[in-house]
Chains A and B, each alone.
Chain A
Amino acid sequence: MFSRPKFGWIASHPGKTAILVCLNTVLFLVFSATEISAQKRFSRTFPAGQNIRLQLINRSGTVTVEGWDRQEVSVTASLEAPTAVITPQTIDGTILINLVRDNQGREVGNVNFNIRVPVTSSVDIETLIGNLTVSNVRGGLVRAHISSEGDIELTNIAAFQVTAQNGIGDIFFDGEMLSGGNYRFASLRGNINLRIPFTSSFKLVATAPSTRNISLGSFSNGGMNYLGDGRRVVGKFGDGNSTLSVTNQRGSISFIRR
């Protein structure tokens, strides 16, 4: 009885096997190249006045905003596949980029933004997942909001209203607290570190109910009171000209002298 040997065809056609291997390699390279080219770039520049406001609502990816001394807003983004639709709008002095609205009901990849704004701009950034970094901004408002996971880093900020809120992740603020300003930092789980000048003046309510880990550092004085078995610190530093509210549901709060 004739029994066909395993891989008999390959053994009997060595030339054709080599061709097949080459074809597979070529196909693999072609598909890899498609994957690489799927990462697209978006770039656009907007003329801007002193009080321009940038409002960005991202789905996932990192967002970096930096203040510069030009009177224009530069938005560049790298888009991972499946690529998102980006349709910026300018309405009453606000540049609005809303990726949630523009891509509703679609699966899209990460969009990593790199944005330059005039130093005196107001910046309002929101994302569902991803790190947010804002630096060198001295406008009226800085707002950074992450609905779920991601770190927030705000450096060299001097704005009258600063809000940073995330779910799981750290918050770092390094900036000035202006007289009459309002500063709010809130996290679900992570570390909140605030680096501010010793000359700052604020009324403080800091709450860390789970860890009770509130370290005031150089800002500890007789005007600060620990309440609720150490879960909350309330008090005044300096003349108390600004308002500072810090809440970390399941993490720590630390003050660092700038």
Chain B
Amino acid sequence: MTCGDCQELLSRFIDGDLEQERSSIVIEHLAACAECTVMCDDLSAILVQCRENEVGEEIPPNPAALWRRINNLIESELPAEIPVEPERKGLFARGWNLTFSQAGAAVIAIALISSLLTIVGIRNYFAPPGDDLSKSNEPPSVFTRVLRKVGLAETPLQARERRYKEQEAAIDYWNKRVQTRRASWNARMSEAFDRNLFEIDQAVNDYTMILQNDPDDQLSEEMLDSALNEKMNLLRQFSEL
């Protein structure tokens, strides 16, 4: 069996849907192939995670029947529904029948907004790439702030928290794998691993403290992100031993 064949069958193998004979072939291949074993472990972990999350959701006793009932109810009520136009007030009380001055003002307003958006877009597009890296304490652009205000973009804090959660989940996963494999390492390997992990944790603590005092320090945020990625990579590489 090739790795491609094995990886194609992994999902069914983990679900227990595979016939006995093919299941045995997959097990035999996994025993000999480290790459497929890692993939199998990863896939299992993802499935376990998904199943754990499913527990919290409320599942109706018979979802198909419930959905059918809702569907019937909607269909039965549709013809009876008489559309009621809401009473118009203010500027749009006469529909789109605007006066000449109102239409002119609207056109000017649209032109101004689109010009502003175009200028902001062009400035962002043509900004030299190095400048992005150099923005350590610069405030976000007006455009970005507007998007955040209306909820179309994540605030830096929201984005950071989301990213940290993802990184922490990955670190937890690799850390568990390291703990299971660690027993087979020699003393030199263990000591080197611990020293490096300590250094990374020190860096993470430093940046976290800086960010607590100055949440807008983009350079520390970038470095913290980098340090967490390094931690993840260190754990991942040592877990493969």
Contact = CB atoms under 8 A, between A and B. Distances in A.
A107 B136 contact: no
A198 B168 CA distance: 43
Given A60-B188, A188-B200, A203-B130, A128 B195 contact: no
Interface residues of A, number: 33
Contacts of A106: 184
Interface string B155-179: 0000000000000000000000000
Given A100-B241, A104-B241, A129-B192, A234 B134 contact: yes
A250 B203 contact: yes
Contacts of B184: 105-107
A107 B182 CA distance: 11
A231 B199 contact: no
Given A149-B196, A167-B199, A249-B226, A101 B35 contact: yes
A220 interface: no
Nearest to A147: B237
Interface string A183-227: 000001100000000000001010101100000000000000101
Given A59-B241, A188-B200, A250-B203, A209 B233 contact: no
Contact of B136 (A188, A228, A247): A228
B199 A188 contact: yes
Interface in B198-238: 199-200, 202-203, 206-207, 217, 219-220, 223, 226-227, 230, 233-234, 237-238
Contacts of A167: 196, 199-200, 230, 234
**Which has the most chain B C-beta neighbours within 10 Å: A60, A225, A236?**
A60
Contacts of B34: 101, 104
B147 interface: no
B196 A209 contact: no
B189 interface: yes
A128 B241 contact: yes
Contacts of A60: 188-189
A148 B231 CA distance: 10
B67 interface: no
A65 interface: no
A123 interface: no
A167 B130 CA distance: 25
Given A148-B193, A149-B196, A249-B199, 4 more contacts: A107-B184, A129-B189, A188-B200, A249-B203
